[in-house]
Amino acid sequence: MSALTVLRRYAAKTDLSTIPDSVLFTHTDTSLTLFDLFPKSNTFHFLMMPRITPSLPEEHTRDLRTLLKWDKEKARKVIEGLARDARSVQDMIKEEMKKRFGFEWPIFTGFHAVPSMEHLHLHIIASDLFSDRMKHKKHYNSFHPKRGFFLHLEDVLSWFDATPSYYKTMAKLPKSQYEPLLKEDLICWRCNESFKTIPKLKEHLRAEWEKDAAKVKVKELKRQREDEEYVDIDKRSVKRSTPAAPEEPTP
């Protein structure tokens, strides 16, 4: 199975039992969500794609540009369906974040303007971005939320309600406009600090994530202490308000 077309082959399957559990995360009647085999987040990175059906043939789902060339309302329906299913996956990620790490952090959901694999797919990725698989500048810049190569799902949805001329312009997605963005300098998406190398940037991102985790732990300890103090005060209050038992009269 070619690495470039593997997503399309999965999307065309009707028998999902043939997809390994290590690949398939979840699915609906209209979409598949797969584990990214080369995750750029250290924690959560999924690919969501529309399933190929008679009403959604593969020639219109090669990538986002191909979809947007198709009938506009049909394309909108596909993107809205992905948005609906993505919210469910985001909720699952948030629940797992709290269960495993005790706090939530941002999740990026969007498309690559120039994808590296065939078949339309949406990235749902936690924003820590210091995975061992994050090895090159182009990897990081493709997920930077402000660089422009990563097209946020909400932004793509907004194109459908814009003027026809704006929609037409955005739908072109020319490689010549987007590919140079992958070569831009390495800038932390959180604080805009510049870095010369990927290892240094990842070290910084990890430290920032760990700092957030530590802050949450401090807040949780503070909350627990406040709860304990409240219970202690409440107990003392109850004790003071309890009337003393009357003394028995002396015979």
Q: Domain segments of the chain: what residues?
A: 6-240
Token code pair at residue 136: 């090159």
Q: What is the average pLDDT across 43-63?
A: 96
pTM of the model: 0.88
Residue 38 has pLDDT above 60, yes or no: yes
Separation of alpha carbons 23 and 189, rounded Å: 29
- Which pLDDT score is estimated for 188? 98
Say which CATH topology domain 6-240 has.
HIT family, subunit A (3.30.428)
Query: CA-CA distance, 227 to 215, in Å (whole number)?
Result: 18
pLDDT at 231: 64
Mean predicted confidence (pLDDT) in 16-33 = 97
Question: Which of 9, 156, 180 is closest to 68 using CA atoms?
Answer: 156
Instruction: Give the model's confidence band at 236: pLDDT under 50 very low, under 70 low, under 90 confident, else very high.
Output: low
Question: Tens digits of per-residue pLDDT, 153-201?
Answer: 999 999 999 999 999 999 999 999 999 999 999 999 999 999 999 999 9
Taking 70 as the threshold, does the pLDDT of residue 243 lie above it?
no
